[in-house]
């Protein structure tokens, strides 16, 4: 999880365009050839400022418009319909810009030759043509809304980075936005510059500049090729030195820009949540406060003060318990009255950490809390229900976090546990069988059939990722755990138990359990 996954993320984003609408990719209709009489015309028609292209007029459109964005659509494609109003809006926004730039569309199913020529595999598919060149158009990778389309196109038209020559120009450029990025390169013909400009073309939400002027290197205290992110908040500036031997690494720089364009402390709400999870920083430190209370707001200073050394490693997030954040509290099993307090979570493992409540929240205690977690000194906090008074009164024993260790790893017992979620259908389907199994073995002194609600009880020994999960803990001192992956019927279960935790032959491959909706990590990711 670092550079490669950032790259993967971008690849997936790019691919999503091609994949959408593929469900109907085979249903292409034949063009009604005989509909037109006489020689095909290359006349250019427009609908809502969008050129309607065919194989007969594409060449002319390319001749007349230096920059052409072409959408391949199909009349039946739902994603195309969703895009249509945004596309039309983008066309009208661009109308005043320049006649060199034009949006166009091609009815894919009716224009099979074009679909084939440009390798369109799904709808909608958008391709950008430059300088009237019909070969190798660029795949559109920008956002699918009007302003995003316009921004993406302007990046490709203009220079994607502004050339800066003088100190005054540079100062003005830096002042023009909350965040600007300037590439300082000694030699603008260098390959690194091309890499830099390629990023500038794609990262349309940020503004890029470029310079090779020695006086600007000096003014900003640089002696080597460096990409500098200037911001009007937090540290004010972050430097990305270009590796002299390996050159500029695109995924590295992309990740650097994501991390350093975020504020050190982000307030959590519905607008920022996408950014918080999009940052791909796995550790989150959450400060829960009631923003209407002065005494709580004062803690923001400490939180902000503790954040800088953890940039890129731990994302600092503020959650207002007086805001619309009940789902976050719920996810952490908390109450608004618990504020002010901290929680730390690794969003990949979903391990959560709770600070010592005795300790006051200060910049120093926040720093120590993070350091101790990152160095493995603090154990994750595990949720558990209370042990029910009658947990061992029925054939199926009820386990919770608090009695799990003691029961499952009892050296004198063979323990077979069903880990379930109350809402999971496969769990409900096998509930009766599990009861029957417990009934059948209730007089076996050394066999325990048990269940544990994994949505309310977390375990130190392992995380449960699918429901139901069945595990067998044979008697003995070595804490062995055997995952049961065979058929979920009484006969196979019995054979397994009678055989001491093995089946003569694996009977049937496990039905794969979906990751989504397994435990609450997803819920946290989607909502928080």
Ligand X SMILES: *[C@@H]1O[C@H](CO)[C@@H](O)[C@H](O)[C@H]1NC(C)=O
Least distance between ligand X and beta carbon 338 (Å): 8
Segment interacting with ligand X, rule: CB under 6 A, options 49-57, 133-141, 342-350, 386-394: 133-141
293 sits near ligand X (criterion: CB under 6 A): yes
Q: Which ranges constitute the DSSP H helices of 262-355?
A: 273-278, 294-297, 299-306, 326-331
475 binds ligand X (CB under 6 A): no
| Structure-token pair, residue 473 | 């803990």
Integer Cα distance of 521 and 275 in angstroms: 17
According to CB under 6 A, which one of 45, 322, 481, 511 is a site residue for ligand X? 322
Alpha-carbon distance of 467 to 190, in angstroms, equals 54
Q: What's the burial of 115, exposed, middle or buried (CB within 10 Å: 0-12/13-18/19+)? A: buried
Among 93, 279, 300, 456, contact with ligand X (rule: CB under 6 A)? 93
Decide if residue 329 touches ligand X (CB under 6 A).
Answer: no
Task: List, edge to edge, every strand of the sheet that includes 414-420.
Answer: 397-399, 447-453, 414-420, 469-473, 482-484
Minimum CB–partner distance for residue 336 and ligand X (Å): 4
Per CB under 6 A, 36 contacts ligand X: no
What residues contact residue 234 under an 8 Å CB cut-off, 6+ apart? 263, 264, 308
Determine if 98 is a binding residue for ligand X (CB under 6 A). no
| Distance of closest approach, residue 493 Cβ to ligand X, in angstroms | 37
> Judged by CB under 6 A, which stretch of 2-10, 65-73, 82-90, 289-297 contacts ligand X?
289-297
Q: Is 330 in the site for ligand X (CB under 6 A)?
A: no
Question: Could you give the residue numbers annotated as active site?
Answer: 77, 80, 424, 427
Q: Which one of the spans 128-136, 253-261, 398-406, 451-459 is the region binding ligand X (CB under 6 A)?
A: 128-136
- Residue 334 CB, shortest distance to ligand X, in Å, is 8
Query: Does residue 295 bind ligand X (CB under 6 A)?
Result: no
Nearest CB to ligand X, comparing residues 93 and 523: 93
Among 337, 357, 412, 425, binds ligand X (CB under 6 A): 337
Q: How many residues does the chain have?
A: 528
Q: At 331, phi and psi to the nearest 5?
A: -60, -35
Choosing from 5, 13, 41, 92, the residue that interacts with ligand X (CB under 6 A) is 92
Q: How far is the CB of 12 from ligand X (least distance, A)?
A: 25
What count of other Cβ atoms lies within 10 Å of the Cβ of residue 12?
Answer: 11
Are residues 158 and 130 in contact, defined by beta-carbon separation less than 8 angstroms? no
- Comparison of 357 and 375: residue with beta carbon closer to ligand X: 357
Complex with ligand X: residue 321 or 407, whichever CB lies closer: 321
**Alpha-carbon torsion, ordered 65, 69, 73, 77, to 10 deg:** -150
Q: Which stretch binds ligand X (CB under 6 A): 152-160, 275-283, 330-338, 471-479?
A: 330-338
Question: For residues 311 and 260, is the Cβ–Cβ distance under 8 A?
Answer: yes
294 binds ligand X, rule: CB under 6 A: no
Give the separation between CA 24 and CA 122, rounded to whole angstroms: 8
Tell the smallest beta-carbon distance from residue 376 to ligand X (Å). Answer: 29
- C-alpha pair distances (Å), 482 with each of 164, 457, 463, 469, 479: 65, 20, 14, 11, 10
Q: How far apart are CA 73 and CA 81, in angstroms?
A: 9
Q: Is the Cβ–Cβ distance between 417 and 407 less than 8 Å? A: no
* Residue of 321, 345, 400, 437 that binds ligand X (CB under 6 A): 321
Q: Is 99 in the site for ligand X (CB under 6 A)?
A: no
Beta strands in 219-359 (DSSP E): 226-231, 237-241, 265-267, 283-289, 314-320, 341-346, 352-353
| Size of site (CB under 6 A) for ligand X | 14
- 3-class DSSP state of 416: strand
Cβ-based nearer residue to ligand X, 12 or 322: 322
**Given the rule CB under 6 A, which residues bind ligand X?**
92-93, 96, 133, 135-136, 290, 292-293, 321-322, 335-337
């Amino acid at each position: 999880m670092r550079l490669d996954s950032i790259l993967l993320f971008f690849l997936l984003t790019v691919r999503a365009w091609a994949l959408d609408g593929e469900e109907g990719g085979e249903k292409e209709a034949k063009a009604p050839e005989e509909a037109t009489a006489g020689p095909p015309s290359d006349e250019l028609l427009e609908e809502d400022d969008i050129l309607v292209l065919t194989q007969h007029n594409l060449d002319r459109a390319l001749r007349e418009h230096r920059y052409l964005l072409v959408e391949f659509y199909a009349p039946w494609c739902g994603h195309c319909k969703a895009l249509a109003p945004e596309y039309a809006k983008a066309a009208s926004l661009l109308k005043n810009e320049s006649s060199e730039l034009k949006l166009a569309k091609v009815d894919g199913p009716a224009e099979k030759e074009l679909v084939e020529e440009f390798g369109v595999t799904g709808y909608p598919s958008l391709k950008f043509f430059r300088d009237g060149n019909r070969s190798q158009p660029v795949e559109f990778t920008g956002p699918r809304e009007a302003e995003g389309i316009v921004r993406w196109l302007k990046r490709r038209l203009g220079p994607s980075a502004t050339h800066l020559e003088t100190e005054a120009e540079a100062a003005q450029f830096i002042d023009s936005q909350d965040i600007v990025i300037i590439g300082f390169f000694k030699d603008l013909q260098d390959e690194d510059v091309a890499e830099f400009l390629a990023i500038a073309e794609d990262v349309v939400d940020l503004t890029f500049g470029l310079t090779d002027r020695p006086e600007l290197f000096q003014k900003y205290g640089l002696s080597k090729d460096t990409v500098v992110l200037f911001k009007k908040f937090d540290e004010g500036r972050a430097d990305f030195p270009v590796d002299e031997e390996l050159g500029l690494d695109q995924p590295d720089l992309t990740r650097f820009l994501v991390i350093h364009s975020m504020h050190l402390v982000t307030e959590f709400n519905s607008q920022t949540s996408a950014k918080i999870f999009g940052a791909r920083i796995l550790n989150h430190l959450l400060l829960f406060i009631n923003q209407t209370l002065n005494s709580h707001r004062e803690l923001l200073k400490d939180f902000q003060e503790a954040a800088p050394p953890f940039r890129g490693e731990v994302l600092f997030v503020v959650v207002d318990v007086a805001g619309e954040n009940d789902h976050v509290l719920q996810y952490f099993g908390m109450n608004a009255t618990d504020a002010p307090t901290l929680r730390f979570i690794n969003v990949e493992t979903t391990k959560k950490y709770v600070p010592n409540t005795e300790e006051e929240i200060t910049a120093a205690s926040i720093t120590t809390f993070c350091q101790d977690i990152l160095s493995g000194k603090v154990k994750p906090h595990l949720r558990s229900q209370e042990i029910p008074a009658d947990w061992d009164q029925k054939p199926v024993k009820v386990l919770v976090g608090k009695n799990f260790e003691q029961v499952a790893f009892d050296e004198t017992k063979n323990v077979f546990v069903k880990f379930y979620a109350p809402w999971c259908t496969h769990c409900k389907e096998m509930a009766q069988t599990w009861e029957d199994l417990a009934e059948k073995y209730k007089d076996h002194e050394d066999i325990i059939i048990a269940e544990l609600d994994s949505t309310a009880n977390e375990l130190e020994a392992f995380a449960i990722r699918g429901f139901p999960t069945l595990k067998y803990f044979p008697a003995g001192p070595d804490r062995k755990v055997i995952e049961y992956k065979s058929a979920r019927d009484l006969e196979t279960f019995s054979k397994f138990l009678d055989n001491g935790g093995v089946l003569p032959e694996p009977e049937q491959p496990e039905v794969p359990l979906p990751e989504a909706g397994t435990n609450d990590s997803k819920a946290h990711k989607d909502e928080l």
